[in-house]
Amino acid sequence: MIKTILKILIAILMAINPQLPGILDLGRMPQGKQIDLNEFELVWSDEFNGTELDTTKWGYSWWITERKGGYWHEDMVSVKDGNLVIRAEYLETPPENYYLDSGMDMPEYKPGWYTGKVTTRDKYEQCYGYFEVRCILPAATGMWSAFWMMNEGVYNVNNSGEDGTEIDVFESFYYKDNWWGNDAISTGIHYDGYGEGHSGVAVGKMFIDNNPYEEYNTYGVEWNENEYIFYINGVETGRTSAGGVSKNPEYLLLSCEFAGENGVQFSDRHGTGEIDKTPEENWPAEFKVDYVRCYQYKNK
């Protein structure tokens, strides 16, 4: 009932001023235009219909072991029942380190919270178009899942995102019991690295009509030479051109992460809530991805 009342309040506030729910940190409902896929042609996709990850499309490279409050490990990634599945759970016994002989200087695996990521880095990159994922979010606190885009230009500190921008199509920070409910995701962009020069824009907290932890939804971004336009289930949620739009190809990432740092989970980050090993039925948590599709403009 509280969630229904809140959504009605948000709708009223948006009718008065579309910016009010964001200013009050209440979240917003998608209410923009419907994406017209007739303007695009499908140029790359993975429907995850096999029994293992297609390594011609995806890899595990880029930040292989320690990640914020946990660890990324490729054993946490599988393909089954028509989904890419990224698992998340606490492991007393660390999994095997496949990179001991790689010559790379990486933190060692220790007992802790483990999950995974996949990326098209060095396999597929695209500049401009429409990018969409269909997925079910992991139902657990202290962590989040994401569909995002990157290139190496993101690290250049030059007061511009034109050489590269981290595009967060969605991040699922809100699985916890708050009075405003938990059926929401966050969208935003980052550029100029991740240090003192960092700049970023939160496009907003967006509510979803159904339960995103039990039902599939689509999350997408249209990226053109002028702006980024974000969508949930094909309906526009917001747009931005902050920093200047990236003009270089970017690769895709699907990931889960735990709040914390140096491999130690300890914090509430971005609203994730403190992690809790109970109820036991929540673990392992799973991020289930039905498909990823990349479209290019037909007439641009």
Quick: pLDDT tens for 209-260: 889 999 999 999 999 999 999 999 999 999 999 999 999 999 999 999 998 8
Q: What is the pLDDT of residue 11?
A: 61
CATH of the domain at 122: 2.60.120.200
| Secondary structure (3-state) at 197 | coil
Q: Band of the pLDDT at 23, cuts 50, 70, 90?
A: low
Distance, in Å, from the CA atom of 50 to the CA atom of 254, rounded to the nearest integer, reads 18
Check residue 35 and give its pLDDT.
97
Residue-level pLDDT at 1: 52
Shared domain check, 7 and 80: no
Contact 265, 256 (CB under 8 A): no
Q: What is the mean pLDDT of residues 30-37?
A: 89
CB 79 within 8 A of CB 48: yes
Pairing of strands 70-72, 112-115: parallel
For residues 42 and 122, membership in a common domain is answered with: yes
pLDDT tens-digit series, residues 160-204: 999 999 999 999 998 875 555 578 899 999 999 999 999 999 998
Q: Are residues 71 and 157 in the same domain?
A: yes
Distances (CA, A) of 205 to 4, 154, 182, 236: 17, 23, 11, 13
pLDDT at residue 9, rounded to an integer: 63
List, for residues 89-141, the tens digit of each pLDDT value: 999 999 988 877 777 777 788 999 999 999 999 999 999 999 999 999 999 88
User: Which pTM does this prediction carry?
Assistant: 0.91
Same domain, 27 and 78: no
CA distances to 19, 49, 170, 254 from 89, rounded to whole Å, are 38, 25, 21, 17
**15 and 39 part of one domain:** no
Domain shared by 15 and 145, yes or no = no
Give the tokens for residue 262. 């140096």
Task: Tell me the average pLDDT across 19-28.
Answer: 59
Q: Tell me what pLDDT residue 228 has.
A: 98
Q: Are residues 18 and 135 located together in one domain of the fold?
A: no
Beta bridge partners of 83: 80
Q: Determine the structural domain holding residue 170 and report its residue range.
A: 35-297
Q: Residue 61: what pLDDT?
A: 78
Q: Where are the alpha helices (DSSP H) in the chain?
A: 2-16, 20-23
Identify whether residues 131 and 24 lie together within a single domain. Answer: no
**Predicted local distance difference test score (pLDDT) of residue 14:** 55
141-210-168-79 Cα dihedral, nearest 10 degrees: 80
Q: How confident is the model at residue 8 (pLDDT cuts 50, 70, 90)?
A: low
**133 in the same domain as 247:** yes
Residue pair 143/213 in contact by the 8 Å Cβ criterion? no
Q: What is the pLDDT of residue 47?
A: 98
